[in-house]
Amino acid sequence: MTPDLVVVGAGFFGLTVAERIAEEHGLKVLVVDRRHHVGGNAYSEVEAQTGIEVHRYGAHLFHTSNERVWEYVNRFTSFTDYEHRVYTTHRGEVFPMPINLGTINQFFRSAHGPQAARDLLLEQAAELGGKRPENLDEQGISLVGRPLYEAFIREYTAKQWQTDPKDLPASIISRLPVRYTYDNRYFSDTHEGLPTDGYTRWIERMADHKNIEVRLDVDFFDESQPVNKKNVVGNVPVVYTGPVDRYFDFAEGDLSWRTLDFEEEVLQVGDFQGTSVMNYADADVPYTRIHEFRHFHPERDYPKDTTVIVREFSRFAEKTDEPYYPISTAADRERLLAYRDLAAGEKDVFFGGRLGTYQYLDMHMAIGSALSMVDNQLTQTYGSA
């Protein structure tokens, strides 16, 4: 295959671009990925012992209010009616999240109506007396008051960042959602659900096009194989969705990320926690949450006597780790501006996706951004369909 476009990365952003260029423009697209599978961090597979579908890089929940994205993804998969609900264990008691009227009344052993609960939190959030928050601790208190912040956010955040919130900038949390109703749905988008046949099958359908070739276990920076940066850039247009600092050989320094570690266990019980995701807010529990994947698809005929759980741990990423969430310190933002300047000088190289832009993107955001790139940048390169 002699490609008209090379896409580096077989996640949602890369394969959305590939599918649209192949379908709308009739051009040949070569997609390469250094992993052994398509789907990026959305990759899922069946756990061998239980037959339960597991999201290998943490739980992925699809939701969107973008009608164009919703119409597009439904070309490749149908969705279940799953609605995501999260619970948090704090001092041996389980509370619904995000903070809502049920959480407030359970925590304070009260029966407040919406206005009384709002007044209570406003009173508690006024503790700083109008002082401008100087760190995450103070920001959290100013948003929801000390009791709820210290119960549900402070220690959980410390585990996520491996840093005392007093040493984290206030800008990390601009707001904390509080609902003054008993609605404990995690998302409030127009559309929500999980792909009926799983994420991997969805992604495979996107790649199943006569004009698309996917090559796995291909490192774009490995010059011992033909599809590498040196051979490709300048000869064929490239959509690059890998880490932007890696593309430029870290010339402006490393961008910092958090990563996740996962500890999987098969248990000889039919149901371990009764819900798909349980957060653990207390510092004496080393993990941030436990996923129990059988609950993502209650419509499936999973075994009644075994289940699979995955404990999730958060830490700062080393260079060899899989990057998940941009930390975006002031130094990172300065480096990112320098990398954007370098990227602007790369002819016919288009940077996209979570890693290529150094910003966290939910799946629907990655797909929407890819559709926009096709519309606004690649169509200019290739002409209209």
Q: Is 300 a catalytic residue?
A: no
Q: Is 360 a catalytic residue?
A: yes
Give the per-residue SS3 of the chain: CCCCEEEECCCHHHHHHHHHHHHHCCCCEEEEECCCCCCHHHCEEECCCCCCEEECCCCCCEEECCHHHHHHHCCCCCECCCCCEEEEEECCEEEEECEEHHHHHHHHCCCCCHHHHHHHHHHHHHHHCCCCCCCHHHHHHHHHCHHHHHHHHHHHHHHHHCCCHHHCCHHHCCCCCEECCCCCECCCCCEEECECCCHHHHHHHHHCCCCEEEEECCCCCCCCCCCCHHHHCCCCCEEECCCHHHHCCCCCCCCCEEEEEEEEEEECCCCCCCCCEEEECCCCCCCCEEEEHHHHCCCCCCCCCCEEEEEEEEEECCCCCCCCEECCCHHHHHHHHHHHHHHHCCCCEEECHHHHHCCCCCHHHHHHHHHHHHHHHHHHHHCCC
Residue 76: CA count within 13 A, CB half-sphere:
24
**Six token digits for residue 321:** 């780790």
- The one catalytic residue among 179, 294, 335, 354: 179
- Cis-peptide into 98, omega within 30 deg: yes
Q: Is 109 a catalytic residue?
A: no
47 Cβ contact partners less than 8 Å away, ≥ 6 residues apart: 53, 54, 264, 266, 293, 308
Q: Is 289 a catalytic residue?
A: yes
- The one catalytic residue among 45, 57, 362, 382: 362
- The one catalytic residue among 20, 56, 246, 258: 258
- The one catalytic residue among 312, 332, 339, 354: 312
Contact 363, 199 (CB under 8 A): no
Q: Is 312 a catalytic residue?
A: yes
- The one catalytic residue among 186, 287, 325, 360: 360
Question: What one-letter code names the amino acid at 349?
Answer: V
Taking CA atoms, 331 is separated from 86, 220, 338, in Å, by 34, 27, 11
- The one catalytic residue among 175, 249, 284, 301: 175
What residues act catalytically?
175, 179, 258, 289, 312, 360, 362
